[in-house]
Amino acid sequence: MPLFPTIAILLTLAAAFAYLNHRFVKLPMTIGVMVLALVASLAVILLGQFGHLADFIQVWGEHLLGGINFERTLLHGLLAYLLFAGALHMNLEDLGAQKWTILLLATVGVALSTVLVAALTFWMLVPLGLRIDFQYCLLFGALISPTDPIAVLGILKTVGAPKSLETKITGESLFNDGVGVVIFLVLLEMAEGTRPVTATHVAQLLAQEALGGAILGLILGYITYQLLKRVDNYQVEVLLTVALATGGYSLADSLHLSGPIAIVVAGLLIGNHGRSFAMSDRTREHLDTFWELIDEILNAVLFLLIGLEVLVMPYTRSSLYAGLIAIAIVLLARWLSVWTLVSALRRARDFSPGVVPLMTWGGLRGAISVALALSLPPRFGAVRQLLLQMTYVIVVFSIIGQGLTLRPLFRKLYQR
């Protein structure tokens, strides 16, 4: 299907579901859009057994989604704008106060969770008759361990968490996807056997992707900051930030650096120094309004796509059971990794009460995990399909189940 009709259909469906949610369902917009898309998809699948019209709609929906490369749409498109919009409103002082917690959670925490998920998954699949090599379980651990900044940022806005806790969860989610992608790429090279993977190679890849991305983001953010200081026209200044998010992410990709980390660093610089020293009050108001609108629209489209993906995601009973059990595995691995690091850090700093259960339940998985699962090479065959199906079940539960119960959990722990 051509690009413009595809965009038109997705925006129309997102607007329709957002309207229905606002009028009748009353859920947070992104969750509401995803729930309605899931319900519509399941209804079409069920009705397809009883009528030609519904069958036609299902085939048409599969054709629409088949023409959308979810992995490229997110990892090489929407993610640049969503991360920039999120980083733009992060306070550097708050982030600095939690820097060691965020750093350890985004690095050691992701690595620890990857190993735990892999080991538990390998053990869990045997009774289901789905035994696969441990290297594929490690791949699954790597793609499902990073918390998704898109899901986290979209839902934390409605929760009202303490500032320090919100900074920990948001800061970790903004940075750990870059580390998670590096771990995933290393494990993918090992699974494919394309080249020997050594400790030196891993260190080089981590330095190139993560450190190189941060340096590039700092350079591009500083250049944009200097340009913003020299003009006082909100149209030009907003356009400069769009160019920074778009061009910066594309440049990082072409240089084989971490685009997500580059854009987060650039967004932090513009959102703090740029906002304070290079913008008038009028520009700040227009900039915030523009990026808030972009964030809401793209989130709605992205969560719509997640809900519609069920149309092209065939399941077996065993893979569905594996996905349901994997939900508990991922939550347990998340709890163990957070508890381990928080326990080690308690000697040097204080933590708010309930920080471990809140960070465990607030570590949502989202579209990035689905995109990484889709990037697994087709030659993995049935293993790829199984990991993708398990990932989708976890993501749907995470966004709907955890996302809708975060507020009650916060209230129970902080208002008792």
> 0.85 cut: is pTM over it?
yes
Per-residue pLDDT at 230: 92
Whether the CB-CB separation of 307 and 33 falls below 8 Å is answered with yes
- In terms of C-beta density within 10 A (0-12 exposed, 13-18 middle, 19 or more buried), how is residue 120 classed? buried
- Residue 378 carries which DSSP code? G
Whether the CB-CB separation of 330 and 394 falls below 8 Å is answered with yes
Whether the CB-CB separation of 72 and 305 falls below 8 Å is answered with no
140: Cβ contacts below 8 Å, ≥ 6 apart: 117, 118, 121, 387, 390, 391
Give helix 163-192 / helix 110-125 axis angle, nearest 10°: 60
pLDDT digits (tens, 9 = 90+) for 254-298: 998 888 889 999 999 999 988 888 899 999 999 999 998 998 888
Q: How does the average pLDDT of the chain come out, rounded? A: 84
What per-residue string of b and e applies to 188-216 under the rule 16 or more CB within 10 Å gives b? bbebeeeeebeeeeeeebbeebbebbbeb
116: Cβ contacts below 8 Å, ≥ 6 apart: 141, 332, 333, 336, 337
pLDDT digits (tens, 9 = 90+) for 51-109: 555 556 656 665 666 666 666 777 777 888 988 988 898 888 888 888 888 889 988 99
The total number of residues shown for the chain amounts to 416
pLDDT digits (tens, 9 = 90+) for 8-52: 888 898 999 999 999 999 888 888 899 998 888 888 777 666 655
Q: How far apart are CA 364 and CA 398, in angstroms?
A: 6
What share of the chain in percent tops pLDDT 70?
Answer: 88
